[in-house]
Amino acid sequence: MARKKEFDYFAALTQLASKGETAAKILFEMVENYDIKTVPEKVEKVHQLENEADDIAHEILDELNRSFITPIDREDIVSATETLDDVLDGINSLMYLFDTYVIEELRPKTEKIAGYIVEATEGVTVATKEFAKFKNSKTLGSMISQINHIEEKTDDLYRALLKELFINEPDTRLVIKWKAIYEGFEAVINSTEIAADNLQGLVIKNT
């Protein structure tokens, strides 16, 4: 009888990170060529990615329940899974805001903050790939530092956009809507930094 192939936890985590990166690119595509009529379609694409990511996360956890031996501690795999999954959950929630609030046109620099999200999720995917060889990786540390730098730039932009909104937007309804949207962007970028810092912590723990 053929022996069952050992489950590759690191590959599954990379798949999870890649789903978040793909979702971020759909978000950027939506804001770069914004058209309210196409928003529901983009939202549905990201929602589907979230479902696929949930399936991957469930598979990882199911394998943990069945496996006697894992490459790193079980709680470390659970932690990595949860923080990577949070990135996509945040993007999914943010996408829904554009649809729910019936955003007809974008405010200046929305595409810039969305671009930072793409950069950060790309970095998380690379860092997750490198995590499989964390004992010998020469780029994991620098990639995590890069994600932290992107998060700092996004924080600066977030505060500037929020301030501009409060000073110059006379429509209270738009203030409420865009405050929530900007907070959604901030939550996503924070989740990428948390995922990256978590990987760094796991590297330190396991070396």
Q: Where are the domains of the chain?
A: 9-205
Cα separation, 207 vs 201, whole angstroms? 10
The confidence band for 4, taking pLDDT boundaries of 50, 70 and 90, is low
Rounded to two decimals, what is the model's pTM?
0.93
* Per-residue confidence (pLDDT) for residue 138, from 0 to 100: 77
* CATH of region 9-205, choose from 3.40.640.10, 1.20.58.220, 3.30.465.10, 3.30.470.30: 1.20.58.220
Q: What is the pLDDT of residues 45-60, one digit of tens each?
A: 999 999 999 999 999 9
**Among residues of the chain, what percentage have pLDDT more than 70?**
98
Amino acid identity of residue 165, one-letter, is L
